[in-house]
Amino acid sequence: MSTILSLKINHLDASINHVKALAFNRSLGSTGETKAVLYIKDEMEEENIDCKIEYFAFTGAKRLFMRLTYIILLTYMIVFRLILVIFLYISIKYLFPAVRNYSLVGKEESKNVIAKIIASKKQEKRQVVILSAHYDTFSANLPYGLQKVFFLLFRIIIIPYVIFAIVIANFFFITERTREAAQLILLFTLIEFVMTTIIFLLIYDNGRSKGSVDNASGVAILIELAKAFKRNPLENYDVILLWSGGEEWGLKGASAFCKKYREYLSNTYDLNRSFNINVDMVGSYIGLEGKRSIQVRHPEFQFDLNKELEETANEMNIPIEVSHSIFGSKADHKKFKSLAKKTKSSFQVAYIHSAKDSKFIHSSKDTPDKCYPENLNGCIEICYNTIRSIDSMNFSSKEIR
């Protein structure tokens, strides 16, 4: 580990002030979501940091629910031998371009905020560090633990239902047992709609959570890191900062970013020497989730990102809790791990996550006072100095003249 370069934070209250400024509903499609995006962009423009907003669309829960409804209707038509109706639907849907992509419920839309700070040395196939944090919120009427139970039950029921509707119903049709098929489909349909009603009416609440721990904390940390690297750029690493949208609805922002820029990142950077730090929740403590002993493809350049973060924290006497979850949390870092696999690189990923604070999230309890300023600033210090330490390692990249 190289000598720690101390980050002098000019305003110790800057990070918590960002959290307080973002203490409003930032749920998907709300005016608060747009307000948050503009807040981040304004903060970047004040420091003359290259920043842009990118829009993306995805298939949301409502659209999936409508597709489930289509499956149910088509299954009933098969059971009751309304083959001509199905043929007519398919003909209209796919033979006429005007209605080919039509749906009763359109795709959901969100946006990513992306900033970039170029390394001071111009090198071919240089390295990149991607810092990510989602800015959107999700509110619910049930505690986080019960939410996970209901979503699990929903998955357990919906998959067997689809299998039953497509396979078993056709078997009953072939064997002329139409009445039995109709009764079973009706039973499964009622169960499915009851579960869907629970999900949308009992769990989802559009405006309760202020989203402070989850994840105004990560947004604030990235804003301050962007300003620090703008004032003192890295030598060998470009810094890309991603504030993603739609994370609470299935990591949609990170997915859109990785899909759009996978080829660009692979062609422009040496991903074997690059990495991502995803900051998702810093509240009552600083948590680091992950495993050590990351194997890299190039033995001449070895570093373990999680180990570097942990050692930096220890050298700076900043408390950090390292956990090794078996399944891990579902967050944007998953998409960057997938990026590493798809690019067949040693691209490393670290996940900063205060898992014990999950008892507050998605509820009215997720307020700015749950984010301790010393932890926000400590996380900034750890990330900043770890990145600078890795940047100072010996590189053999060819400098552009």
**Do residues 71 and 118 share a domain?**
no
- pLDDT tens per residue across span 30-46: 999 999 999 999 999 99
Per-residue pLDDT tens for 109-168?
Answer: 899 999 999 999 888 889 999 999 999 998 887 777 777 777 777 667 666 666 665 566
The CATH number of the domain where 262 resides is what?
3.40.630.10
Of the two residues 98 and 58, the one the predictor is more confident about is 58
- Residue 26 or 399, more confident: 26
Enter the tokens of residue 393: 């390692």
pLDDT at residue 220, as a whole number? 98
Q: Say which DSSP state 341 is in.
A: H
**pLDDT, position 102:** 62
pLDDT score recorded for residue 387: 97
Q: Give a yes or no: residue 6 inside a domain.
A: no
Query: Does position 296 have pLDDT exceeding 70, yes or no?
Result: no
pLDDT at 105: 61
Share of the chain above pLDDT 90, in %: 54
Q: How confident is the model over 238-275, as pLDDT tens digits? A: 999 999 999 998 899 999 999 999 999 999 999 999 99
Whether 226 maps to a domain, the answer reads yes
Distance from C-alpha of 96 to C-alpha of 273, rounded to nearest angstrom = 49
Q: Parallel, antiparallel, or unpaired: how do β-strands 127-134 and 237-244 relate?
A: parallel
pLDDT in tens, 193-219: 676 676 666 666 666 789 999 999 999
How high does pLDDT run on average in the chain?
83
Please check whether residues 381 and 323 belong to one and the same domain: yes
Shared domain for 226 and 322, answered yes or no, is yes
Report whether pLDDT(293) > 50: no
SS3 label, residue 361 = coil
| Domain end position, chosen among 186, 203, 220 | 203
Report the pLDDT value the prediction gives residue 150, as an integer from 0 to 100.
Answer: 73
- The answer to whether residues 131 and 24 belong to one domain is yes
- Say whether pLDDT at 313 is over 70: yes
Q: Report which of residues 225 and 121 the model is more confident about.
A: 225
Q: CA–CA separation, 250 vs 177, rounded Å?
A: 40
Query: Of the candidates 179, 203, 227, which is a domain's last residue?
Result: 203
Asked if residue 81 has pLDDT above 80, the reply is no
- Contacts of residues 333-341 at CB distance under 8 Å and 24 or more positions apart, as own/partner, are 333/132, 333/276, 333/278, 333/280, 334/251, 334/254, 335/251, 335/254, 335/255, 335/257, 335/258, 336/130, 336/132, 336/254, 336/258, 336/276, 336/278, 338/258, 339/258, 339/262, 339/265, 339/276, 340/271
Q: Confidence band (pLDDT; 50, 70, 90) for 95?
A: confident
In a domain, 182, yes or no: yes
**pLDDT over 60 (residue 371):** yes
pLDDT at 88: 74
Domain final position from 182, 203, 224: 203
The whole-number pLDDT of residue 114 equals 98
pLDDT digits (tens, 9 = 90+) for 152-202: 776 676 666 666 655 665 565 555 566 666 666 666 666 666 766 766 666
- At residue 140, the pLDDT reads 81
Please give the distance of CA 2 from its chain centroid, rounded to a whole number. 32
Residues 69 and 30 in one domain: no
Structural domains in the chain (count): 2
Range of the domain at 148: 63-104+143-203
Query: Which pTM was predicted?
Result: 0.82
Banded model confidence at residue 324, pLDDT cuts 50, 70, 90: confident
Are 189 and 248 part of one and the same domain? no
